[in-house]
Amino acid sequence: MTARPITLADVAREAGTSASTASRALSGRGYVAPHVKKRLLATADRLGYVPNLSARTLKQRTSRVVGVVVSDLGNQFYAALAAGIEQTLREANYQMLLLGDNSDVAQELSGVRMFLSMRAPGVIMTPASNTAADLLVARGLPVVEVDRRLATSSCDAVVIDNEQGGRAAVEHLIQLGHTRIALLMARTTWTTDAGRLQGYRAALTGAGMRVDRRLIVKFATHAADTVKRIELLLDEQQPTAIFAANNQLAEQAWHVLRRRKLSIPRDISLVAFDDVPWMGMVQPAITAVAQPTFEMGRRAALLLLRRLEDPTCGRTVEVLEPRLVTRGSTGGKR
């Protein structure tokens, strides 16, 4: 009983016109007599006509479905980013096709291949590597990078000032009297981590303190030994404060501290980069570098839309400002 879907030709025949006329009437462009158009619209509606997007895309050689790939759909940071993108695209009558790549280069590449296959007009991504973005650019597809920049080829981007954010976080700790400040960061080539590290160093040297490499720990994503290495850090280096460079690491660190029954901030202070809801709910609440996440998504979408309008327009890299939200997890040195 899987009835054949209604085609444009069906609608045209039923309304007594040619397919071209029906096409013009339903797609809204091209001349067509008002009363004919009205009749066409009515019969299309009556028959339950749904245009075949594949045929349209094939003909026009482009679609209105823009590809979006983020690192982790379950992470609220990326979810908010996607929400900002989606809303903006929808307002411009584009569709978002959302994919998660789990920070995996192979998955990212396969997703990007699919976008190519679907003749997406452009792609917005939080890149996991440079290869996927470069591939797209080489194919002539507009790409906007969000959150971080990895492409070697030039493309539009929306990022946060990571160095400033990192510096603000660490300066805050220094002002409170801390000298043994640990940095938990992801082991990546991402500009986010590089910037936050730079901010960390800048804050320390700016205060005339030296950088102790043993206090900087880098973690592979989803590594099984993350917790163990945080515990090792606590045991061997006895930091009085921790700066976690992303919300995941902050969460892991927080769990470790709590399991050890360390009092925050009396025994140890904690600052996170990226402010997600739980940080305002736990006791004490976590001091964090907040990012305008939704806005970043919105801007990225706007950048893409602009380039779709005018492919030759100059390249833009927007750098937004983070904001330090001081809460209870940071306090004077014990």
Partner DNA sequence: CTGTTAGCGCGTTCAG
Partner DNA sequence: CTGAACGCGCTAACAG
Binding site for DNA (CB under 7 A): 4-5, 7-9, 16-21, 23-24, 26-27, 29-34, 36-37, 49, 51-52, 55-56, 58-61
If contact means CB under 5 to 8 A according to the sort of partner, which of its own copies, DNA, none does residue 140 touch? its own copies
- First-to-last C-alpha distance (Å) of the chain: 74
Smaller CB separation from its own copies, 224 or 281: 281
If contact means CB under 5 to 8 A according to the sort of partner, which of its own copies, DNA, none does residue 277 touch? its own copies
**Euclidean distance between CA atoms 103 and 116, whole angstroms:** 20
Question: Measured between alpha carbons, how far is residue 160 from residues 69, 163, 193 in Å?
Answer: 18, 9, 12
If contact means CB under 5 to 8 A according to the sort of partner, which of DNA, its own copies, none does residue 223 touch? none
User: At closest approach, how far in Å is the CB of 57 from its own copies?
Assistant: 4
Amino acid at 256: V
If contact means CB under 5 to 8 A according to the sort of partner, which of DNA, its own copies, none does residue 179 touch? none
User: At closest approach, how far in Å is the CB of 48 from its own copies?
Assistant: 8
If contact means CB under 5 to 8 A according to the sort of partner, which of DNA, its own copies, none does residue 116 touch? its own copies
User: At closest approach, how far in Å is the CB of 80 from its own copies?
Assistant: 6
Pair of tokens at residue 273: 């980069």
User: Within 10 A of 280 (CB to CB), how many other CB atoms are there?
Assistant: 12
**Euclidean distance between CA atoms 177 and 174, whole angstroms:** 5
**Residue 319 in contact with residue 160, Cβ under 8 Å?**
yes
User: At closest approach, how far in Å is the CB of 232 from DNA?
Assistant: 53
Amino acid at 115: F
If contact means CB under 5 to 8 A according to the sort of partner, which of its own copies, DNA, none does residue 27 touch? DNA
**Residue 274 in contact with residue 289, Cβ under 8 Å?**
yes
User: At closest approach, how far in Å is the CB of 119 from DNA?
Assistant: 9
**Euclidean distance between CA atoms 237 and 214, whole angstroms:** 7
Give the footprint of its own copies on this chain (CB under 8 A).
Answer: 1-3, 5, 48, 50-55, 57-58, 63, 73-74, 76, 79-80, 82-83, 86, 95-100, 113-114, 116-119, 139-140, 251, 254, 277-278, 281-283, 311
- Cα dihedral 191, 96, 115, 152, rounded to 10, equals -20
